[in-house]
Chain A
Amino acid sequence: MNFVWSRAAAMARKEWFHIRRDPFTMSLALVMPLVMVVIYGVAIDFNVKNVKLAVSDSDQTQASRRLIDTFSSSGYFRVRRDFSPGQALDDLVAERARAALIIPPQFEKNLWSGRTAEAQVLLDGADNSTVVPVSQYVNTIQTLASERIAGADMRPPYDLRTRFLFNPELNSRWFIIPGVVVVIMAILSIFLTAMTVAREWENGSMELLLSTPVEPIEIIVGKALPYASLGALAVVFVYIIARAAFGVPFRGHLWVFGLGCLIFLLTYLAQGLFISIASKQQTLAMQLSMLTGMMPSVILSGFVFPIASMPKFFWYFTMLLPARWFMVISRHCFLEGSSFLELAVPFAALSLSCLAMTALAAHKFKRTLE
């Protein structure tokens, strides 16, 4: 095989003309990263705030008012007063409130007479996304309220203090945006490569290309270069937004992150090429890249859903997905400042996927041409 850079460069130049003149490709490359960062960075927030709390206070005492005040001053709840427990429940059922606090009569009396003063918190169990964080808030508020109502005497015999490393405020944007990098790169690289090679098959130009002395590897490299550049540009773009607009810290080494990006990009470019060769049709290539590229990188990479809580089969299955490993690299580079050695396992797994996918695509391409 005789690789000639000038031929690969000619392919890349031609591809660049296609990209520049195709509104779909341009918008996918330029607008999609912006839209995704905005959607994931601004609209999606795991930090549940301003939870509407329907409160029924049948005690109407200083102690009950302090309990309610502890909820409202926490910043997590917005209190809505109701006249009866039934009305509070109705508000919860009708989704006018997402939690209800019911304080029975005798609350204060029980408190001062040494009996346990009971109040009830009702949560909408059907709304799984809020019920877990809200119940955590309730636990914290319970401790705080005990201190405020009963004074220092009520303090528990031990003091378990929790500190969150790397993301002290548990800011979900810090967690999400390094993951958005993975999703954007996955979509850009797999989608565009799958489409561009399928287009050459579909309109018959692949046959013409192969009738010239151009080598298949020159076609692949020439086609991949502009899309790899677009992918790299998207990463820089997301990195700047992450740092400047969302204040996400970057504690690792840029070269480690860059190397991870490069290997991940190559893996997905190869996967896009494989899809393209196997399908030879743009529509099918688009569907397959959606199925095998976009969905796993969103659902099975740990981007939103934690891999640790997946069933055993999926836990093992995700090991085959390059997005899972790059997700680890990206988050660790941004938030934990991990070194290359600390990320040796994800790097090794990602490199293995890259080699396997490149070999598979090259083999399929060669077989198809034969």
Chain B
Amino acid sequence: MNDETVVEARDLVVRYGDFTAVDRVTFTVGRGEIFGFLGANGAGKTTTIRVLCGVLPPTEGRVRVAGTGYEDGENAIKAKVGYMSQKFTLYNDLTVKENLDFIASLRKLDAAYYAKRRQEILELISFKKGLGAFVHELSGGTKQQVSLAAALLHDPEVVFLDEPTAGVTPAGRERFWALIRRVAESGKTVFVTTHYMDEAEQCGRIALMREGKLVAMDSPAGLKAAAFPEQVFEFEPIEELSFSRMTAFQNHEAFAFFEPYGHRFHAAAANAEAWRHWRPELEKTFRIRTIAPSLEDVFIRMVEDRP
């Protein structure tokens, strides 16, 4: 990544009637950056992406994407960005070629340019099946890769990926993220939303959204440091805990944070004195280890636990 700003949102507000979906959001994203956008459903992520893709003019605020904005005409932004949504990949009853031809026609790509670019993109995603293959014959992961290829056909400066790996196998997700890194290395800015925290860890920076507001924005390490200035521990129960005991620990005065994490728990002490006092007692019930906080811990603490 270099310092050149490619995406800029300043005091962005989107209202639907009385409901404010995006509330004074400000951020910038640099060229070649993989920028993650995290938040619960309804937090305003998709609305923000729709504004940045040129689909939805903001109610207030200013948006600049790849040097253009709404003031440059309604299609100015659309020409500079690629978009891949979570729900839709490609038309299943069309072949890969028919799908790509369709997108190229909508973007009015020159025939010679399109043929060359299609070849480049298919090599980038290592697409081995023939162009005549029907999309419904492809695996979930390959579909998403071809879908990304369609979003990149017109060589956009920014690609928006809205939960691109939803429903894809772990191996497929890994391959897709390797592809995202290659796209970013080629100088494209990648703006991605995901519910998978291991994917979010791979972003250069992450913005956390809650109820339309941006609650934090930093690198994964920076967010962890900001969310957990105190030490984080993993608690492994020596014996199985009943639900009532687990609830009691969640409200225990020793903890500022105590959340289930698989069969274990991640916790942060309320303060040093309480921790010193309660640790011997807790060790009768748990095996306690010091760990680095995960992004999930950060998300729970910064997004879900806030009143």
Contacts and interface: CB of A to CB of B under 8 A. Distances in A.
A and B form one complex: yes
Interface of A is mostly: helix
A17 to B, nearest CB: 5
A6 B85 contact: no
Contact of A17 (B54, B98, B107): B98
Interface size class of B (residues with CB under 8 A): 20 to 34
A179 to B, nearest CB: 35
A18 B91 contact: yes
A4 interface: yes
Contacts of A212: 78, 103, 106-107
B127 interface: no
B105 A213 contact: no
Nearest to A14: B102
Interface centre among B54, B85, B98, B101 (most CB of A within 10 A): B85
A10 B106 contact: yes
A22 B93 contact: yes
Contact of A208 (B75, B83, B105): B83
Interface size class of A (residues with CB under 8 A): 20 to 34
B40 interface: no
A221 interface: no
Contacts, number: 67
B149 to A, nearest CB: 14
Given A14-B98, A17-B98, A213 B78 contact: yes
Contacts of B101: 10
A209 B107 CA distance: 10
Interface string B101-113: 1110111100000
B105 A6 contact: yes
A157 interface: no
Given A6-B105, A17-B98, A211 B88 contact: no
A207 B98 contact: no
B164 to A, nearest CB: 13
Contact of B85 (A7, A14, A208): A208
Contacts of A129: none
A204 B105 contact: no
A214 B50 CA distance: 15
Contacts of B108: 4, 6-7, 213
Given A207-B87, A211-B78, A213-B78, 15 more contacts: A2-B75, A7-B106, A10-B102, A13-B105, A14-B94, A14-B98, A18-B93, A203-B87, A203-B88, A204-B85, A205-B88, A211-B55, A211-B83, A213-B79, A369-B55
Interface of A: 2, 4, 6-7, 9-11, 13-14, 17-18, 21-22, 203-205, 207-214, 369-370
